[in-house]
């Protein structure tokens, strides 16, 4: 449930776009997509402790 709560909080802050999709069983499910472009996210994380090397790798393997 923590992941669902985190996704909901990010969507509420307009950092994620949400839409309803239909699962294989016909139930409505939220679908999330970043409301920010990739470079904006990578730039924000670039100096964060412990993730800088992952940011650089993401940029080079794109």
Q: What is the pLDDT of residues 10-30, one digit of tens each?
A: 888 888 888 888 777 777 777
More confidently predicted of 25 and 38: 38
Q: What is the pTM of this model?
A: 0.56
Q: Which pLDDT score is estimated for 27?
A: 78
C-alpha count within 13 angstroms, C-beta hemisphere, residue 58: 13
Q: How many CB atoms lie within 10 A of CB 45?
A: 14
Paired with 31 in beta bridges are 19
Compute the mean pLDDT over every residue in the chain, rounded to the nearest whole number. Answer: 86
DSSP reduced 3-state for 31: strand
Evaluate whether 19 touches 31 at the Cβ level (below 8 Å). yes
Task: Please name which of 41, 30, 38, 35 lies closest in space to residue 8, comparing C-alpha atoms.
Answer: 30
């Amino acid at each position: 449930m923590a992941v669902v709560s985190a996704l909901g909080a990010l969507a509420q802050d307009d950092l994620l776009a949400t839409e309803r999709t239909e699962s294989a069983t016909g139930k409505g499910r939220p679908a999330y997509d970043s409301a920010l472009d990739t470079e904006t996210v990578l730039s924000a994380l670039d100096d964060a402790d412990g993730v800088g090397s992952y940011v650089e790798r993401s940029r080079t393997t794109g």
